[in-house]
Amino acid sequence: MAEHGVPLLDLAAQYATIGGEIQAAVAGVFESQRFIMGPEVEALESEVAEYSGCAFAVGVSSGTDALLLSLMGLGVGPGDEVITTPFTFFATGGCIHRLGARPVFVDIEPDGFNIDPHLAERAVTEKTRAIIPVHLFGQCAEMDPINGLAEGRGIAVVEDAAQAIGSEYRGRRAGSMGTAGCFSFFPSKNLGGAGDGGMITARDEELAGKLRILRNHGAKPKYYHGLVGGNFRLDALQAAILRVKLRHLDDWSAARQRNAARYRDLFAGCEAVKCPPELPDRRHIYNQFTIRVPGRDQVREQLRSAKIGCEVYYPVPLHLQECFASLGYRKGQLPESERAAAEALSLPIYPELAAEQQERVAAAVIEAAGG
């Protein structure tokens, strides 16, 4: 970190508070020499299932692989369509394409960053096999109407909860409301490991069992392959680290919520800055604090010059990515996603962020926005 700067994320500050616990957990894995699967992975699966309000959880190698494996387990393939949002990380659409299915992008709601369920319903066809709502930035999508459009039509709901562990919609946790829930443990996430890792939650025992087989090359028993899967296993070292961090997650989420409330106070007099809404019946866990601001790119450059960490998630929505040109989407077709891509700017929100640091961030944003 540059002197007197404010980083977007400070994992060193987090580690300073739990380093001893992490080192003990890692040492335990080395003493056991159980690095692939084993008791640490099984324990994390049980703990994440309980935390998320699900019957089953399956540890996997990344959030991307959680999405891919979920779709594989549901039999999604060539000729199928999967409805999702274009305002998300690339993996959401990329995993659909990798299986030979067609991503069907529908716009986000104007008052948030998540998929518009009414537009999703209009996009349903006889080829629709699944819908992937993304709980972006730590706030759940509108799940009741999404589940309502899927029920009775043979459509699976795969929650992309990569940024949303612990977030809630009407008292239900992210990952517990659909057919499957997909989590990422990338280091920058609220629950982040020391590398890649992910988890799939499910309510159905048969689906969970199939996912466990697919993550290990489709083998059951060893060397006997009824399915073609892949190597999607979660490392025991990652599981041990994540088990330590999971114990602290609710405290960290509460700190992020306090920081979000402080930002709202600091930006209250600046009409140029639109804070992210906390939608009704939600528990927002603020994986990011993402404002909307006119002239976003200029604001970003001024913040960088002032050594204020910030990031644009995501500058090009998926329907306008070059690799999806063959899908035939045009600029202007999904205006809310395109507007969000032009205006969204994420600010530091990590739990250890000090009030004085937030004040400097807000002052710099207000100055850059001309507010």
pLDDT tens-digit series, residues 30-86? 999 999 999 999 999 999 999 999 999 999 999 999 999 999 999 999 999 999 999
Quick check: 214 and 73 in contact, CB under 8 A? yes
Closest CA relative to residue 241, chosen from 287, 194, 273, 196: 194
Task: List the domains of the chain with CATH numbers.
Answer: 11-246 (3.40.640.10), 249-368 (3.90.1150.10)
Quick check: 190 and 197 in contact, CB under 8 A? no
CB hemisphere CA count around 305 (13 angstroms): 10
- pLDDT category at 371 given cuts 50, 70, 90 is low
Residue burial 103-141, b: 16+ Cβ < 10 Å; e: rest: bbbbbbbeebbbbbbebbbebbeeebbbbbbbbbbbbbb
Write down the pLDDT at residue 10.
97
**Residue found by looking up tokens 């306090």 in the block:** 258
Residue 197 and residue 186: Cα distance in Å, rounded?
6
- Token readout for 338 is 């395109």
Write down the pLDDT at residue 3.
52
pLDDT tens-digit series, residues 83-120? 999 999 999 999 999 999 999 999 999 988 999 999 99
Residue 72 and residue 67: Cα distance in Å, rounded?
9
Residue 21 and residue 245: Cα distance in Å, rounded?
9
Q: How far is CA 154 from the centre of its chain?
A: 25
Give the DSSP H/E element, type plus range, for residue 103: strand 102-105
Write down the mean pLDDT value for the chain: 97
Quick check: 267 and 273 in contact, CB under 8 A? yes
Quick check: 324 and 225 in contact, CB under 8 A? no
Closest CA relative to residue 283, chosen from 183, 197, 191, 172: 172
Quick check: 318 and 105 in contact, CB under 8 A? yes
Q: What is the DSSP letter of 37?
A: S
pLDDT tens-digit series, residues 150-199? 998 999 999 999 999 999 999 999 999 999 999 999 999 999 999 999 99
